[in-house]
Amino acid sequence: MSVDVNTLLAIVGMALATYLTRIAGLWLLQLANVGGRARSAMDALPPAVLMAVIAPTVLATGLAETIAAAITIVAAFRLPLLVAVATGVASVVVLRQLIG
């Protein structure tokens, strides 16, 4: 069991930084409590974050990822979550072999 002081500092720094990103959300509370337009904007947060994570990987990584994502979307409409995700993972492996 070895612990390097520099490594420990880096880990503590990361833990602190990550904790702050989570807790910072509470400070956005004031934003969330307003009605009307701000309310609509807050309601749009979940799909907006999801799309911002998905879109670059799906559309700007490679053809294999784009096709695999399309397959995952179709699968997600019909199949349980795990099966849809597994289908996506399997198709990306096959497509990467085929397309490179």
Partner 1 sequence: MTTGKQEFLDGLRLVLPILVAPVSFSFITGATSVQKGLSAFEATLMSASVFAGGGQLLALEVWYEPQAWLLVMLAAISINVRFALQAASVQRKINHFTPLQRWLTIATLTDPAWGMSEVRHLSRQVTFWFISGITVPIYLIWVFGTLAGALLGNLIDDPARLGLDFGFVGIFIALAMPFWKRTGAVPVAVASGAVAIAAKLAGFAALYVFIGAMAGVAMAGLMAHRKAKRAHTP
8 binds partner 1 (CB under 8 A): yes
The 3 state secondary structure assigned to 27-78 is: HCHHHHCCCHHHHHHHHCHHHHHHHHHHHHHHHCCCHHHHHHHHHHHHHHHH
State in angstroms the smallest separation of the CB of 83 from partner 1.
8
State in angstroms the smallest separation of the CB of 37 from partner 1.
5
98 binds partner 1 (CB under 8 A): no
Name which position in 34, 56, 63, 99 contacts partner 1 (CB under 8 A): 56
